[in-house]
Structure formats: C-alpha cells, structure tokens
Amino acid sequence: MWWAQKTYSRRIRTLGTIVLLLVTAYSVRGNIILPKAPDLSAKGYILMDAASGRVLVESNADESLPPASLTKVMTGYVVAAELETGRINLEDEVPISVNAWRTQGSKMFIQEGTTVTLSDLLMGVVVQSGNDASVAIAEFLAGDEHAFADVMNQHAITIGMTSTNFLNSTGLPEAGHFTSARDMAVLTRELIHRFPEHYATYAEREFTFDGIRQPNRNRLLWRDRTVDGVKTGYTLAAGYCLVASAKRDDMRLVSVVMGATSDEVRTRETQKLLQYGFRYFETRGLYSPDEPVIDARVYFGTNDNVPIGVLNPVHVTFPRGHYDDLDVEIDMPKQLEAPLEKGLEVGSLRVLMEDEYLLQTPLVTQRNIDEAGIFDRLFDAVYLFLAGLIE
C-alpha cells in the first residue's frame, strides 16, 4: 500500500542509559584528534576490535601472504568445531602414523605406532606448535591432510575469510598456501567468540609431553599480562608472524603481524599496535537483543505496538572520551502492518560519529503480532485514510 513505501529516519543520542529521539539533523561538536597510527616493520598487519569488528589500523591487510604456523589457528578451530558436534571427544586415542612422525619443523615429539589423546595433541598444536601433532589430527579427522585442508577452506569461507587458501594443517611452505592479515583477524575473532573454552588454551605458557617440556613461542604471554593468545609462525618464506589478542577492562583487541624480520621485531611491533588501540580507543555495548530499541506502531493488528530490536549485541568502537558524540540513525517503514512474525527484518540501525558510519545492523520485530478482527482493521484503515488527507 502507498503508506508502506514511505520511510523515516530518527537519530538517537546515547547519553548513559537515556535515549532521546531526534527528528532534525545533529550538529558536529568539536574535532576528534588522534595521533598517526603506528607504521610497522612488517609485510602486512591489522588491529581489530574483537567485539565490534572495527579495524583500527591496517596496512596491506588483504595481501596474500604465507602464514607459516598461523595456519594452526584454523587447525585448532576445526577441532573445536568437530568437538561441538559431538563427533569426536578430547579423550579419543589418536593413532600416530609414520607420516605424522616424520613431519619436519617444530615438533611435539610423538612416536609412530603409538596413540595419543586428542587433548594432548591439541595442546601440542596450540602451545608447542607441533607440526607432527597437526598432521596426526588432520589424519584422524579427515583421513589425510589434503582432505583436512578442504575442511579448513570450507570453514574459512563460512566465516568470511576471502583471501585464504589452505593446503595443509601445519603451515609448512607449499605453493598456493596463503592467507592475509585481515583473514587471520577474522578467524581469531570468530574463534574467541564461538569457542571460548578452546581459546583459553592459547594462554598456556608451556606444555609437557612424554617428559619433554616446551614453552609457548608467544613471548607476549610473559611481557604483557593482558595478552592471552594467540599464535606465532615462522618460515623463511613467511618471515616472523604473530597473531595476538589482549583484553583490558571490557575491551579486547586482536592484532596480526605478518612478515616481520625477527622474533623480537614481531613482538615489538605487536606491542605497538595493542598499545595504540587501548590508549586511543574504547568499545561500548549499545544494544542487546533482549531489549527493544524502539516500540513501533502497528496497524491492523491485535496489538498497537511491536518492540523492535537487534539480532545480535551491538558494540561500537570509537575514539576514547567521545562516547557522547555518538549518534544513531534508525530507518523504518512509516507504517507496519500485521500480521508480523518475530524476527522479521523491518529496518536498520546505523551508528555514526562526525558523519562517519561506524556500523550498520538490521532491526527486527521481537514478537509476533497477529492480524486483528475485521472491525479493528476497518478502524485502522479509516484512520490511515484521514491521516493521509491531513499530510
């Protein structure tokens, strides 16, 4: 109908828990001054907020680069996903093949012909960066490493990794095996949110297997108490790489540095990123799926109003100290008509600051609204007709 095609836009000023609806345009108040983002000595890097997904710093973030042992973040992710389905268990005994035992590079030092629990192998991958453990897991889950790499790539596509192609579970050099700094940040963010129990293992500083104790290669676990992950990597082709995550107060950041020239450089440059992000930015939660953003008028329904809200928690990252400069725009149809099903997308919400859009998310109905009886519908039709004459 003609009235269903019109839209309106409202802006909401967030002041603590008070929400004010504004119909007129807002005015920019003051300038936001930030120092220049750090320029790192690396081939590609990125800094992302884990809650909002906002990128705070990036350089060559989409360039395809060899990931070395950063690959094992996806190896662990696949294991966590399989555990979630119930198809495997951490107590499963995994047979160790000659192929896994002979794998070159960093090792957990498993022995062919034996069995090792999946739990121990996973710790060998996460903490000790064992290539042998990675191959053993790949063979256990998929039969061989090639098939496991196909599973890795399917997960990569599902979570939005657009510049990645895995050919093995270890990160050992292989033509056509690559990822990007952005994709690694996307993967790490998904890992943290979806599998928090598995992610907790990345904070372990050491792991002992068969009497051999090995430390975690992530030196930031000792240098910064707020860092609780994630993974280092090195090959001659990839250089020195590091995915890190740290949480300070209610803010968590994910950094990725790829192609640094030494272990010390990748650690130092990661520290620069994290320090910049925590010092000059903050993240706040604005809306929860459990609470309505607005109550919208409904016509021809058994109820006059329907609560409208967000599907997922809305977090926004912005320059520190500028919370009161946030604005929210809501776009909704001028009229909503019953029947309405819960979860129906009916509009959008955008958060902006000084004309820069920080995020956009759908708005959905939070309850069902059934169609009213004929007399109530007739009353609403007359009301809308008369309202249209006045406009």
Express each pLDDT in 63-72 by its tens digit: 999 999 999 9
pLDDT: which is higher, 384 or 195: 195
Query: Could you give the CA distance from residue 284 to residue 73 in angstroms, rounded to a whole number?
Result: 27
Specify the 3-state DSSP secondary structure of 312: coil
pLDDT score of 29: 38
pLDDT: which is higher, 57 or 372: 57
The amino acid occupying position 150 is: D
Q: Which fold has domain 61-240?
A: Beta-lactamase (3.40.710)
List, in order, residues 6 or more apart from 216 with CB less than 8 Å away.
127, 128, 204, 205, 206, 207
pLDDT score of 381: 72
The band of 32, judged by pLDDT with boundaries at 50, 70 and 90, is: confident
Please name the helix (run of DSSP H) or strand (run of DSSP E) that holds residue 381, with its range, or none. Answer: helix 374-390
| Parts of the chain belonging to CATH 2.60.410.10 | 2-30+288-390
pLDDT: which is higher, 209 or 30: 209
Closest CA to 53 of 283, 262, 311: 283
- Buried (b) or exposed (e) across 47-82, using 16+ Cβ within 10 A? bbbbbbebebbbebbebbbbbbbbbbbbbbbbbbbb
Torsional class of 375: left (φ above 0), alpha (ψ -120 to 50), beta (otherwise) = alpha
pLDDT score of 373: 82
User: For residue 17, is pLDDT > 60?
Assistant: no
pLDDT score of 380: 63
Region 246-263: mean pLDDT is 97
pLDDT in tens, 332-390: 998 898 999 999 999 999 999 988 899 999 999 999 999 878 876 777 677 667 767 77
User: For residue 158, is pLDDT > 70?
Assistant: yes
Percent of the chain with pLDDT over 70: 90
| Parts of the chain belonging to CATH 3.40.710.10 | 61-240
pLDDT: which is higher, 151 or 377: 151
User: For residue 28, is pLDDT > 60?
Assistant: no
Domain 2-30+288-390 has CATH 2.60.410.10: yes
- Average pLDDT of the chain to the nearest whole number: 90
Q: What is the model's pTM?
A: 0.88
Closest CA to 228 of 198, 272, 261: 198
Residues with a known catalytic role: 69, 72, 129
Percent of the chain with pLDDT over 90: 83
DSSP at 367: S
User: For residue 12, is pLDDT > 70?
Assistant: no
Q: Before 307, cis peptide (omega within 30)? A: no
Region 15-19: mean pLDDT is 30
